[in-house]
């Protein structure tokens, strides 16, 4: 690994790696450790292996996923992180009532996502939060493009159905 590649392609995605690790591990210290380990592993990658990497971001996301899952398995944990700042992104100057409403909606969305099967939750996070392409998600999770699309469709459908049920209960 050389400094130029690391500085231009790896270092700028460190926050994305952290968010992904946080989503899987469920706590900030573990996510920080995972990202540190991934960055160290990438830095220590032999030159012959680094020359074969075509998409650094997908490779780093794969390393992050694998290390996060390993950490969870070793601690027998299965939690996910909250959707931080969802209410902040929705509107620039919401009133107090709208802020409370958005905060409740964000909490409900977190609970709904937490209830999804692991693969659906990870695909939805990578697509809708991290904004990765379908191909990048397939590379990261080491699944087929069709599996990415199916899992994303099922996750969104489950969330949509839960939101519609919730809306009908309120109305």
Q: What does the pLDDT look like over 39-94, one tens digit per residue?
A: 999 999 888 888 888 899 999 999 999 999 888 887 753 344 445 444 444 445 66
* Domain spans, the chain: 3-75, 95-170
Q: Quick one: pLDDT at residue 94?
A: 66
Q: What does the pLDDT look like over 26-54, one tens digit per residue?
A: 889 999 999 999 999 999 988 888 888 88
Given this structure, which CATH class describes domain 3-75? Answer: mainly alpha
Q: What does the pLDDT look like over 14-30, one tens digit per residue?
A: 999 999 999 988 889 99
CATH architecture of residue range(s) 95-170:
Orthogonal Bundle (1.10)
Closest CA to 77 of 17, 125, 124, 30: 30
Q: What is the pTM of this model?
A: 0.56
pLDDT of 166 over the 70 cut: yes
CA 12 – CA 151 distance, rounded (Å)? 28
């Amino acid at each position: 690994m050389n400094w130029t590649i690391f500085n231009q392609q790896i270092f700028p995605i460190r926050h994305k790696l952290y968010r992904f690790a946080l989503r899987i591990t469920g706590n900030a210290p573990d996510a920080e450790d995972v990202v540190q380990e991934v960055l160290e592993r990438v830095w220590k990658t032999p030159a012959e292996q680094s020359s074969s990497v075509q998409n650094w971001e997908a490779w780093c996301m794969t390393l992050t996923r694998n290390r996060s899952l390993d950490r969870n398995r070793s601690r027998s944990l299965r939690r996910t992180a909250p959707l931080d700042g969802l209410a902040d992104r929705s509107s620039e100057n919401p009133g107090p009532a709208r802020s409370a409403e958005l905060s409740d909606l964000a909490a409900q969305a977190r609970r709904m996502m937490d209830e999804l099967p692991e693969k659906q939750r990870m695909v939805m996070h990578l697509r809708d939060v991290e904004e990765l392409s379908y191909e990048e998600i397939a590379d990261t999770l080491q699944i087929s493009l069709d599996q990415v699309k199916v899992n994303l469709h099922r996750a969104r459908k489950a969330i949509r159905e839960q939101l519609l049920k919730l809306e009908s209960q309120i109305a």
